[in-house]
Structure 1
Amino acid sequence: MKALGILGTSSGAGKSWVTAAFCAWLHREGVRVAPFKAQNMSNNAWAMPDGTEMARAQAVQAEACGLAADIAMNPILLKPTGPMGSQLVLNGRAITHQAGKDYYREFDRLWGVVRDVLESWRDRCDVLVMEGAGSPVELNLMERDLVNLRPVRHLDGKWILVGDIDRGGIYAQLAGTWALLPEADRARSLGAIVNRFRGDIGLFPNPQDWLAPHAPGFDVLGTLPFRPDLQPEEEDGLREEDADRGSGDMVAWIRWPHAANLTDCQPWWDDRGVRTVWTKDPALIARAKVVVVPGSKNTIADVRWLHETGLADAIRGAAARGALVIGVCGGYQALGETLRDPTGLAGDAGEVAGLGLLPVETEFVAEKVVAPVTATWGERTWTAYEIHMGRTTRRGGEALQRVVRDGVTVDEGCRHGRVWGTYLHGWFEAPELRQHVAAEAGFGETYAAHPQTWSERRQAIYRAMADHLVEHVNLAPVRRYLGI
C-alpha cells in the first residue's frame, strides 16, 4: 500500500476537495483507493448503519472512491459545541465533551488509536489518500499533531501541499510552509497545488519560476481554477459565496452560532427560481416564503441566542404571516415548547423555552441517536439520517411523515399547520420533496427542482472533479510514486 498525504497551508485551503478529486481520479484509473483523515473537527457528520458516525467529508470521499463509508476512514471526530470544548467521537462513538487542553493530554492514547487504524488499511487498498488538517507546521503543535505529517511518516508515504490563492499571499504560504518543514519531511514532497484561482489563469503564468528561489526543490504541480459547480460538500462551514445563492422566491436559513450539517441546504442550489440565504437579518426573514431553522451542535445555547437577538420573534412573525417554517434536527427542537438538558449532555446545561410553534418537548439524554433512515415522498424513496442526543415528544399536531428505521415503519417529525419539524438530515435531497415545499409555500411558476437527487448529482461531480485535476495538474510525479 502507498500513502499519499494531502496537506494544506491552512485550514480551509481546499484539502477536502483535492483529496476527493484524487480519490475520484485514482478510482477511475482502476486503483483500489480509500480516503483517510486521522482527526477531523466538524459538525457535519454522517450516520452509519451500525449507529456510529464519522465526518461527512470522508464519507463523500469514499463515494468518490466507489466505496461505502467506513469508520476506519475517520477514527477521531471532534464536534465543537462552543469556544472551549468539543464532543469527542472515537471510532464512531460519542465518548465525552472535553476542553482542548484535556484532549491534548490524551495524545499518546489517541495516536495509538490512529496507528492501529492505519495498520488495518495495509491489506485493504493500494493507495490511502490521507487528508491533513490546518497546517503541518504549526510549531507549537507539531509534536502533538496526529493528522498531518505523523501518519505520512508512519506509512513511509509522500505528500502534496495545497495552497489557497484566493486568500492572497500564495508564495508566502508555500515558501513559508516549506521553510518550516523538517528536512526529512521535505524529502517526502511530491510538490504543491495552487488552489481556487479565479479569473483569467493566463494572468498567473509560471508560478514555479517565482517560487524556486525561495523554496529550492519544491515544485508547483499546477493551478486549479475554482469551479463553483464542482463542490460536492463543504466540511468546515459556509463559504461566503454560498451565503446568498440563486434568484427567485426566498428560502431563509437561520445562521445561528452552532449551526450543524449545513449541507442540508445544498440540494436547493441547482434548482431554478429559488434564492437560498443564510441570515441573521429579521428583514430578510420577513420577506422569505420558507424559513428553515437548521441543525445545531448546542441547541440550548442557540435557542437562547434566538431569544436574545430578537430572531425568535422574527421567526414567529414569519409563521404568523403564513410563511412555511421548517425545523431540521436542532431546529425542530427549537420550534417546540421546552428544551431540557440538566447536565449539559449536548452543550449548554439548563432548561429553555422554545419558540412555541410546535407542540413538542425535548429532553436530552446520554444515548445518542445515530441512524440512517429510509424516507419516502410520493414515489421517491431515498436515504436520510438522524444524529442527535435529544428525545422529542409530540403533544399535539400530527406526524410529518412515515419513515423506515431499523426495518420498522414509524412516525417521524411533527406538522402543526404551516410549521414542520423533522430530525432527518438529507431530507431536502429528494426533488419531489422540494417541489412540494415550494408548492406549499406559494413559489412562482419559474420554480423547478433539479430532477436528480443530490446523491445522484454528486456522482457526476466526482467524475468532473477528476477531469479538472487531470487538466490542470501535472500528475506524472504522483504516477511515478504510485507505480501507475
Structure 2
Amino acid sequence: MKAISILGSSSNAGKSWVATALCAWLRKQGIKVAPFKAQNMANNAFATLAGGEIGVAQAVQAEACGLLPRVEMNPILLKPNGPDGSQIVRLGVAGETRSAASYYETVEESWRIVQQTLDGWKSECDVLVLEGAGSPVELNLMTRDIVNLRPVEYLDGRWILVSNIEFGGVFAQVFGTWNLLPPAMQARGLGTIVNRFRGDLSLFSDAADVFRERMKLPYLGCLPFDGSLRIDDEDSLNAEASIPKDGTPYIAWIKYPRISNSQDQLPWQNDIGIQSIWTDSPKVVEGATAVVLPGSKNTLSDLAWLKERGLASAVVGGAKRGIPVVGICGGKQMLGRVLRDPQTGEDARGLELLPIETEFLPSKRVVRNESRRAGEVWQTFEIHTGESSIVESVPFEPLCESRPAGEGDFDSDGMKIGKVWGTYQHGIFDAVSMRELLLSDACIEGVQVCRSDWRESRMSIYDRMADCLDMYLDLDTVKRYLGL
C-alpha cells in the first residue's frame, strides 16, 4: 500500500479539499483508494452505517473514493464541548471528556489505536490518502503529534504540503514549514501546492522560480478558488457570519459558539433566489424570512448564549410574527420547554415553542437513517445525547417519515406545529421536498430550487475537483511515486 499525506502550512489551508480531490483523482485512475485521518478535532460529525461517529471530512472523502464511511477512516475524533475540554470518540464510540493537558497524557493510547487501523488498511486498498491537522511543525506539539508526521513515517509514505494564499505571506508559510521539518521528513516530500488563488493566475506565474531557488521541494502549482466546488466543512468554525444582501429574502442560521453539523445548511447554496446565511445578530434574525437553530455540542451552554445575546427573544419574536422557525437536533431541544441534565443537576427553560422536554443521558444515539416525504427518500442521520418527550397533547404534523437505513418500516418523524419545526435528523434539507416546504411556510415565491439529488450531485463535484488537479497541477512526482 502506498500512502500520501496532505499536510498544511496552517489550519484552514485547504487540506480537506485537496485530500478529497486527490481521492477522486485516484478513483478516476482506477486505483483502489481510501481516506484516513488519525485524529480529528471537529464538531461536524457523521454517523456510519454501523452506528459510529467520524469527522464529516472523512465521510466526504469516502464518497469521493466510492466507499461507504467507516470508523477506521477516522479512529480518533475529539469533539470540543466547552471549557471542560473535548469528548473523545475512539473508533466511533463516544467516551469521556478530557482537557487538552489530560488528553496528551494518554496520547500513546490513541497512537496504538491509530497503528492498528493503519495496519488494517494495508490489505484493503492500494493507496491511503491521509489528511493532516493544523501545521506539522508546531514545535511545542511535535513530540505528541499523532496526525501529521508520525503516520507518514510509520507507513513509509510521502506527503504534499498545501498553503492558503488568502492568509497572505504564502512564501513564508511554505519556506517556514519546509525549513522546520526534519531532514528525513523533507526527503518524503512530493511537492507543495498553493491553494485558493483569486484573480488572474498569470500574476503568480513566477512563483515556480521563487520556490525552485530556495528549496528542493517541487512546486506542483496553484489552485484557483472556485466557490462551486464547495464540500462539507470538517470545522463548524468555518460557518462564518455574514450580512444579507439587500432585497433578497434570506434564511438566518444561528451561529452559536458550539455549533455542530453546520453542513446541514449546504444544500441551500444551490438554490437561486434565496439567501441562506449564518448570523449571531438579533437584528439580522429580526429581518429574516425563516430562522434555523442548528445542532450544538453543548446545548445548555449555547441556549444560555442565545438568551444573553438577545437572540432567543428575536427567535421567539419571529415565531410570533409567523415566520418559520426550525430546530435541528440541539436546536430542536432549545425550542422545547425544559432541558434537564441529571448528571450535573442543571436545568434550563427553553424557548417554549414546542411542547417537549429534553433529558440528557450518558449514552449517545448515533444512527444512519432513511427519511421520506412526498415520495422522496434520502439519507439522514442522528447524533445526540438528549431524548425529548412530548409533555402536552398539542396537535402537530410529522415533518417526514424515517427508519434506520434499510431496516423495518417508516415511522412518523419530527414535529411541525404551525410554522415551528423540530427534528433530530441531520441532512433534513438534503431533500428538495423539505426545502420547498420551508419556502412555502415562509411564503417565499420565485425561488429556483435545485432539483438534482444533493448526494448524487456531489459525485459530479468530486469529479470536477479531480479535473481541477489535472488542469492546474503538475502531478509527475505523484505519478512516479505511485508507478503510474
Same fold (TM over 0.5): yes
Structure 1: which 5+ residue stretches go unaligned? none
List per-residue Cα deviations over 1:306-361 (Å, max 9, x = no partner).
Answer: 111111110000000000000000000000001111325xxxx6111100010000
How big is the shift at 1:454?
1.6
Once residues 238 and 457 of structure 1 are traced to their aligned partners in structure 2, the CA distance between those partners, rounded to angstroms, is 25
**Would you say 1:387 and 2:383 are equivalent positions?**
yes
How big is the shift at 1:416?
1.9
How big is the shift at 1:169?
0.5
How big is the shift at 1:248?
2.7
Q: 1:356 aligns with which of 341, 352, 358?
A: 352
Cα contact 1:84–1:100 (8 A) shared by 2: no
How big is the shift at 1:206?
2.3
Once residues 203 and 83 of structure 1 are traced to their aligned partners in structure 2, the CA distance between those partners, rounded to angstroms, is 45
CA separation of 1:315 and 1:10: change in aligned 2, threshold 3 A: same
SS in 1 for 2:444: coil
Once residues 399 and 174 of structure 2 are traced to their aligned partners in structure 1, the CA distance between those partners, rounded to angstroms, is 51
- 1:81-92 map, 5 Å: 81-92=81-92
How big is the shift at 1:240?
6.8
SS in 2 for 1:212: helix
How big is the shift at 1:243?
4.0
Once residues 481 and 110 of structure 1 are traced to their aligned partners in structure 2, the CA distance between those partners, rounded to angstroms, is 29
Once residues 127 and 245 of structure 1 are traced to their aligned partners in structure 2, the CA distance between those partners, rounded to angstroms, is 43
Q: What one-letter code is carried by the residue in structure 1 that aligns with 2:232?
A: E
How big is the shift at 1:239?
4.1
Once residues 392 and 352 of structure 1 are traced to their aligned partners in structure 2, the CA distance between those partners, rounded to angstroms, is 14
List per-residue Cα deviations over 1:173-202 (Å, max 9, x = no partner).
Answer: 000001100000000001100000011111
Tell me the equivalent position of 1:221.
220
Tell me the equivalent position of 2:416.
415
Q: What one-letter code is carried by the residue in structure 2 that aligns with 1:94?
A: A
SS in 1 for 2:426: coil
Tell me the equivalent position of 1:402.
401
Once residues 454 and 263 of structure 2 are traced to their aligned partners in structure 1, the CA distance between those partners, rounded to angstroms, is 10
Greater mean deviation of Cα atoms: 310-319 or 245-254: 245-254
SS in 2 for 1:229: helix
Cα contact 2:335–2:353 (8 A) shared by 1: yes
Greater mean deviation of Cα atoms: 122-131 or 199-208: 199-208
Cα contact 1:372–1:385 (8 A) shared by 2: yes
SS in 2 for 1:256: coil
CA separation of 1:181 and 1:57: change in aligned 2, threshold 3 A: same
Once residues 331 and 240 of structure 1 are traced to their aligned partners in structure 2, the CA distance between those partners, rounded to angstroms, is 16
How big is the shift at 1:24?
0.3
Once residues 49 and 219 of structure 1 are traced to their aligned partners in structure 2, the CA distance between those partners, rounded to angstroms, is 40
List per-residue Cα deviations over 1:54-82 (Å, max 9, x = no partner).
Answer: 11110100100111111111000011101
Q: What one-letter code is carried by the residue in structure 2 that aligns with 1:377?
A: R
Q: What one-letter code is carried by the residue in structure 1 that aligns with 2:442?
A: A
**Would you say 1:252 and 2:248 are equivalent positions?**
no
Tell me the equivalent position of 1:430.
431
- 1:15-54 map, 5 Å: 15-54=15-54
Cα contact 2:241–2:280 (8 A) shared by 1: no
Please give the TM-score of this superposition, normalised by the length of structure 1: 0.96
Q: What one-letter code is carried by the residue in structure 2 that aligns with 1:273?
A: G
Number of residue-to-residue matches in the alignment? 478
Once residues 436 and 295 of structure 2 are traced to their aligned partners in structure 1, the CA distance between those partners, rounded to angstroms, is 22
**Would you say 1:105 and 2:105 are equivalent positions?**
yes
Cα contact 2:44–2:56 (8 A) shared by 1: yes
Cα contact 1:163–1:194 (8 A) shared by 2: yes
- 1:74-153 map, 5 Å: 74-153=74-153
Tell me the equivalent position of 1:190.
190
How big is the shift at 1:98?
0.9
Cα contact 2:44–2:234 (8 A) shared by 1: yes
Superposed CA RMSD: 1.4
How big is the shift at 1:276?
1.1
Cα contact 1:36–1:130 (8 A) shared by 2: yes
- 1:195-210 map, 5 Å: 195-210=195-210
List per-residue Cα deviations over 1:32-66 (Å, max 9, x = no partner).
Answer: 10000000111111111222111111010010011
Once residues 60 and 244 of structure 2 are traced to their aligned partners in structure 1, the CA distance between those partners, rounded to angstroms, is 22
Once residues 148 and 371 of structure 1 are traced to their aligned partners in structure 2, the CA distance between those partners, rounded to angstroms, is 30
How big is the shift at 1:107?
1.4
Cα contact 2:54–2:74 (8 A) shared by 1: yes
CA separation of 1:12 and 1:456: change in aligned 2, threshold 3 A: same
Greater mean deviation of Cα atoms: 235-244 or 262-271: 235-244
Q: What one-letter code is carried by the residue in structure 1 that aligns with 2:296?
A: S
Please give the TM-score of this superposition, normalised by the length of structure 2: 0.96
Q: What one-letter code is carried by the residue in structure 1 that aligns with 2:151?
A: P
How big is the shift at 1:448?
2.0
Once residues 240 and 267 of structure 1 are traced to their aligned partners in structure 2, the CA distance between those partners, rounded to angstroms, is 14
Cα contact 2:240–2:278 (8 A) shared by 1: no
List per-residue Cα deviations over 1:124-182 (Å, max 9, x = no partner).
Answer: 00000000000000001101100000000000011000001110000000000011000
Greater mean deviation of Cα atoms: 104-113 or 411-420: 411-420
Cα contact 1:371–1:386 (8 A) shared by 2: yes
